[in-house]
């Protein structure tokens, strides 16, 4: 018993030196690694902040990713100093990551869609977009979902996968910053077509918001059931589109009526055929 105790007593200083050296090295590695991780994360975030081509949403995320990666390698290096089989640890972490990824498949699809939205930037904050037939005004863009509101006020929370998987029309961006107005005016069959077209031409010419190039188009569109339909097609600045089309509609009706043009109500002709009375 005394021999065993003496042997352990003789080995104790060597063990303390070995383990003490590993412990001190591990602490130094942790401090240095975590310090470098924080410094690298801040450096990446500041570097991205100086670029106008990268969405601001990416700035803090990229810094966090760099920081976590460096910290992960630091922890693995520390475990390696104590004899832990790091290859097996990395394999276990990879398997756990795969399992988590499969469990969070729907969430990860939103993240993937969010990354594509931030990279390709089909819209920006404040834009009005048509997504799957509904119009939203974008309030914020995130990695999981976008916050928006309807034009009449209610808030909306849209998962990114729902946005990326559908046809998206950005109503706030148009070709050459112009937008077309299409309106149809029905006149009575007994009214003079040329007079009605001349009145509409004067209405268009009197509105300074209507562009002369592309030239306005005012022509007969169809011979409908109750009216002769005249197509009015003009171009205006995107920002003037809504007010211009409403004002044109009001002015056109007033001027057509003042010029003696009738805007008919829908009507049907009924032919009543009376059967002959039976003979007595």
Tell me, yes or no, whether 17 lies in a domain.
yes
My answer on whether 159 and 194 are in the same domain is no
Percent residues over pLDDT 70 in the chain? 74
**Segment 60-102, tens digit of pLDDT:** 666 777 888 888 778 777 776 666 666 666 666 666 665 655 5
Q: What is the CATH number of the domain that holds 150?
A: 2.30.30.60
Q: What is the mean pLDDT of residues 135-162?
A: 90
Q: For 207-251, what is each residue's pLDDT tens digit?
A: 999 999 999 999 999 999 889 999 999 999 999 999 999 999 999
Q: How confident is the model at residue 40 (pLDDT cuts 50, 70, 90)?
A: confident
Percentage of the residues of the chain whose pLDDT score is greater than 90: 40
Decide if 278 is inside a domain: no
Same domain, 166 and 230: no
Q: 149 and 228: one domain? A: no
As given in the structure block, the two tokens for residue 197 are 């077209």
Residue 263's pLDDT band, with cuts at 50, 70 and 90, is confident
Kindly tell me if the per-residue pLDDT of 256 is higher than 70. yes
174, 175, 179, 184 alpha-carbon torsion, rounded to 10°: -120
Distance CA 138, CA 128 (A): 7
208 in any annotated domain: yes
Alpha-carbon gap, residue 98 to 259, rounded angstroms: 75
88 vs 180: which has the higher pLDDT: 180
Q: Specify if 43 maps to a domain.
A: yes
Pick from 212, 216, 247: nearest CA to 230: 216
Give the residue with greater pLDDT, 189 vs 37: 189
Residue 192 has pLDDT above 90, yes or no: yes
- The answer to whether residues 180 and 207 belong to one domain is yes
Residue 269 lies in a domain: no
Question: Into how many domains does the chain fold?
Answer: 3
Does residue 130 lie within any of the structural domains? yes
In this structure, is residue 265 part of a structural domain?
A: no
Report the pLDDT value the prediction gives residue 38, as an integer from 0 to 100: 83
User: In terms of domains, do 134 and 165 share one?
Assistant: yes
Write down which residue in 103, 134, 151 finishes a domain: 103
CATH number of the domain residue 45 falls in:
1.10.287.1260
**What is residue 278's three-state secondary structure?**
coil
| 3-class secondary-structure state, position 122 | coil
Half-sphere exposure of 220 toward its Cβ, with a 13 Å CA cutoff? 14
State the pLDDT confidence band at 109, using cuts at 50, 70 and 90. confident
Map tokens 């008919």 to a residue. Answer: 264
Is 203 a residue whose pLDDT tops 70?
Answer: yes
Q: Are residues 93 and 48 in the same domain?
A: yes
20 shares a domain with 73: yes
pLDDT category, 110, cuts 50, 70, 90? confident
| Residue 266 pLDDT greater than 90, yes or no | no
What does the pLDDT average to over 175-189? 94
Examine the domain organization and report whether 231 and 179 are in the same domain: yes
Provide the pLDDT confidence category of residue 53 given band limits of 50, 70 and 90.
Answer: low
Q: What is the CATH number of the domain that holds 243?
A: 3.30.70.100
Structural domain for 49, as ranges? 10-103
The pLDDT of residue 230: 96
Domain match, 33 and 98 both: yes
Identify the pLDDT of residue 144.
Answer: 84
Same domain, 232 and 159: no
How many angstroms separate the CA atoms of 10 and 4, rounded?
Answer: 10
Whether 162 is covered by a domain: the verdict is yes
Do 208 and 149 sit in the same domain of this protein?
no
- Residue found under tokens 């869609």: 113
Please check the confidence at residue 188 and state whether its pLDDT lies above 90: yes
Q: Flag the least confident range among 148-152, 162-166, 194-198.
A: 162-166
Beta-carbon-side half-sphere exposure of residue 19 (alpha carbons within 13 Å): 6
Q: What is the mean pLDDT of residues 22-32?
A: 74
Mean pLDDT of the chain: 81
Q: Are strands 178-187 and 134-141 parallel, antiparallel or unpaired?
A: unpaired
Answer yes or no: do 249 and 192 share one domain.
Answer: yes
- Taking phi over 0 as left and psi of -120 to 50 as alpha, with beta for the rest, 98 belongs to alpha
């Amino acid at each position: 018993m005394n021999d065993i105790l003496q042997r352990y007593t003789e080995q104790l200083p060597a063990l303390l030196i070995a383990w003490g050296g590993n412990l001190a090295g591990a602490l130094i590695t942790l401090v240095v690694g975590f310090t470098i991780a924080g410094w690298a994360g801040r450096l990446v975030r500041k570097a991205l902040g100086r670029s106008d081509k990268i969405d601001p949403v990416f700035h803090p995320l990229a810094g966090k990713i760099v920081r976590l990666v460096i910290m992960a390698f630091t922890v693995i290096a520390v475990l390696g100093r104590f004899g832990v089989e790091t290859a097996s640890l990395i394999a276990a972490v990879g398997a756990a990551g795969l399992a988590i990824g499969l469990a969070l498949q729907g969430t990860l699809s939103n993240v993937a869609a969010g990354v594509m939205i931030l990279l390709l930037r089909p819209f920006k904050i404040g834009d009005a977009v048509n997504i799957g037939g509904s119009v939203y005004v974008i309030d914020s863009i995130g990695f999981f979902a976008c916050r928006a509101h309807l034009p009449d006020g209610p808030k909306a929370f849209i998962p990114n996968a729902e946005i990326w998987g559908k046809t998206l029309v950005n109503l706030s961006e148009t070709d050459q910053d112009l937008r077309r107005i299409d309106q149809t005016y029905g006149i009575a069959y007994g009214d003079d077509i040329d007079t009605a077209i001349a009145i509409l031409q004067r209405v268009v010419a009197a509105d300074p918001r209507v562009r002369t190039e592309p030239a306005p188009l005012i022509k007969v569109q169809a011979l409908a059931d109750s009216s002769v339909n005249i197509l009015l097609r003009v171009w205006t600045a995107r920002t003037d589109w809504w007010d211009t089309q409403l004002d044109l509609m009001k002015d056109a009706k007033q001027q057509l009526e003042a010029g003696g043009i009738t805007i008919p109500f829908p009507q049907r002709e009924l032919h009543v055929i009376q059967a002959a009375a039976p003979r007595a």
